[in-house]
């Protein structure tokens, strides 16, 4: 476990947009935790995941809780399944947004919540739930403002493909070098924060999609919030949904934007930043062209190559002619 209180450079500290206040321990007798599940066309897995989560929390979470299904633009029956789950599980509620965007869904669900601690996890439950209580404990005691699961700590146990692991590690090192941050894993879908912190911080987070997590943590660290990192056991889900090239481009643009918001980089930093972004872009493309050829999803693309060359390069196509994966390539 790692909890870090960040010491900023004078330049960044002088530009702080808002101040943080000392944290006090929360009352465990009245404490409520909101667990948000952002979903987009997840009808096929939603019921199983919610049932698993409810049973686990009933047996292991020593606090009151609610589960919020945050649907952002589903068209496959997800809302119908979510409504059914609210009838069977009193702790489940639903928030529906007409527009897509995981960051948008999390932001709205967290800002609407009245729970003492707001959190989220990926609907596939890739992260072992045994890490949840240890992760939020520093929030309860007042030792941290934000808590995140980390797949890249020495104690973590991660099961995923080699190339995706390389992409993730390179992306997180890119963040640490260019943004001068200390947290290890920006994109693990397993995070929590105190409600007061969310109300202060979220209005300043601009991204509404996959870069949301990175921007949230970078700005939290810049503003002096204490971030607790909890090692997790994580198993990759190979289901595929997110537009890789678009996501990679948005990540790069997002890093540049956030760095600019907190001051102009020196010539040396700017050169290094550009070089690392170029390297990241090449790694993303390497991941697209090489990593996927091992499974049948991509093998099917070979049959489509004679019709569309992009299928050969980027994998099988969805209705919008994009190859897609369920998590950003940096995750």
What whole-number distance in Å separates Cα of residue 316 and Cα of residue 324? 8
**Structure-block tokens of residue 7:** 């010491």
Residue located via tokens 């009352």: 27
How long is the chain? 331
148: which residues sit within 8 A by CB, 6+ positions away? 135, 183, 185, 188, 190, 191, 192, 217, 227, 228, 229, 230
- In a 3-state reduction of DSSP, which class is residue 225? coil
Residue 66: how many CB atoms within 10 A of its CB? 18
Tokens of 280: 């990241």
Please give the Cα distance from 204 to 188 (Å, whole number).
Answer: 21
- Tell me 292's DSSP state: G
Q: What secondary structure letter does DSSP report for 265?
A: P
- Measured CA to CA, the distance from residue 97 to residue 246 in angstroms comes to 22
* Catalytic site residue from 213, 237, 239, 251: 213
CA distances 322 to 75, 168, 197, 305, Å, are 18, 21, 37, 14
- Determine the Cα–Cα distance for residues 55 and 59; give it in Å rounded to an integer: 6
Query: From the CA atom positions of the chain, what is the Rg in Å?
Result: 20
CA gap 256, 110 in Å, rounded = 26
Q: What is the DSSP letter of 30?
A: T
DSSP 8-class letter at 98: S
CA-to-CA separations, 160 to 165, 232, 238, 325, 331, in angstroms, rounded? 7, 14, 9, 14, 11
Tell me, yes or no, if 213 is annotated catalytic.
yes
Give the residue numbers annotated as catalytic, written as ranges: 213
């Amino acid at each position: 476990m790692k909890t870090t209180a960040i010491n900023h450079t004078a330049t960044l500290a002088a530009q702080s947009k808002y101040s943080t206040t000392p944290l006090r321990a929360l009352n465990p007798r009245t404490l409520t935790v909101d667990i948000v599940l952002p979903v987009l066309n997840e009808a096929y897995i939603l019921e199983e995941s919610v049932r698993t989560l409810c049973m686990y929390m009933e047996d292991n979470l020593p606090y009151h809780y609610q589960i919020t299904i945050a649907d952002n633009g589903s068209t496959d029956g997800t809302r119908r399944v979510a409504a059914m789950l609210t009838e069977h599980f009193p702790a489940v509620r639903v928030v529906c947004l007409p527009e897509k965007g995981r960051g948008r869904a999390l932001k709205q669900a967290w800002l609407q919540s009245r729970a003492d601690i707001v959190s989220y996890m990926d609907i596939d439950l890739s992260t072992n739930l045994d890490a949840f209580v240890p992760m939020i404990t520093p929030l309860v005691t007042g030792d941290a403002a934000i808590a995140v699961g980390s797949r890249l700590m020495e104690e973590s146990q991660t099961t995923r493909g080699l190339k995706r692991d390389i992409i993730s590690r390179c992306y997180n090192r890119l963040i640490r070098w260019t943004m001068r941050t200390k947290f290890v894993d920006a994109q693990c879908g397993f995070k929590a924060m105190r409600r007061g912190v969310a109300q202060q911080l979220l209005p300043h987070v601009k991204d509404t999609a996959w870069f949301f997590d990175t921007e949230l943590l970078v700005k939290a660290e810049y503003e002096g919030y204490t971030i607790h990192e909890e090692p997790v056991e994580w198993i990759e889900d190979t289901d595929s949904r997110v537009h890789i090239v678009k996501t990679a481009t948005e990540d790069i643009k997002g890093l540049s934007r956030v760095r600019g918001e907190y001051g102009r980089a020196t010539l040396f930093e700017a050169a290094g930043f550009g070089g690392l972004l170029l390297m990241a872009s090449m790694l993303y493309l390497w991941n697209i062209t090489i990593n996927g050829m091992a499974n049948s999803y991509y093998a099917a693309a070979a049959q489509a190559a004679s019709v569309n060359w992009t299928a050969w390069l980027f994998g099988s196509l969805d209705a919008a002619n994009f190859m897609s994966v369920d998590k950003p390539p940096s995750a």
